[in-house]
Amino acid sequence: MGADGQDGGDPERAPRRQLYGRSKGKALRAAQAARIDTLLPQVSLDLAALTPDPAALFPIRPERLVLEIGFGGGEHLAARAEAEPDTGFLGVEPFLNGVAKLLAAIETRGLTNVRLLRGDGRDVLAALPDGALDRVYLLYPDPWPKRRQRKRRIVDEAFLAALARVLKPGGEFRFATDIDDYAGWTLARIARQDGLVWTARTAEDWRRPWPDLHRTRYEEKALREGRVPGYFRFRRV
């Protein structure tokens, strides 16, 4: 086992189980803590149940399945779930306070088509059967900008291979970042595998947000601070 918690060999292809970043922030308010205790068990994503039939996690069998990895405060996931009641949404986020915010949206909006996990999105990818998903979102992942930190980035060749496996043919991986280096990092790794292709034909295709994108707090902060996001769509071939 290497010093970074990986097995030997290609560090991007070896299993990488350590999850970096914060797991909790300021103390939860009473209502948030109550939802963690009572609502979270009702909407928790059961990894064991994913393998045979992920659609069976929902009270009404959804027409489509979508995964958002690292949903932050849940603004985008909740908005899409409300707009697409016939779609089942799987959300993964390690940050407890973000989970608490999404639970509040689930409760106030009466969302029944969301299942979530406080944890690592790679665990969900590993548990899903082949071709299970119609779409995967990865919005503004931690860029780990310092050179020595880049091995912590979730986007690597093993991650992309897992994405390609669980997406249906024609399914989409949608990735947004306001960090130019992370955009280039991701495009370079997409180019080295043949399961996903970049759909852009002109620069405007990745400069403009997707029509159904709901802005997150992080995106609004990036725009206020003058950082220009890129919106990338990759199709499963």
Catalytic residue IDs: 142
Backbone angles phi, psi at 221, to 5 degrees: -65, -45
Token output for 81: 């779930």
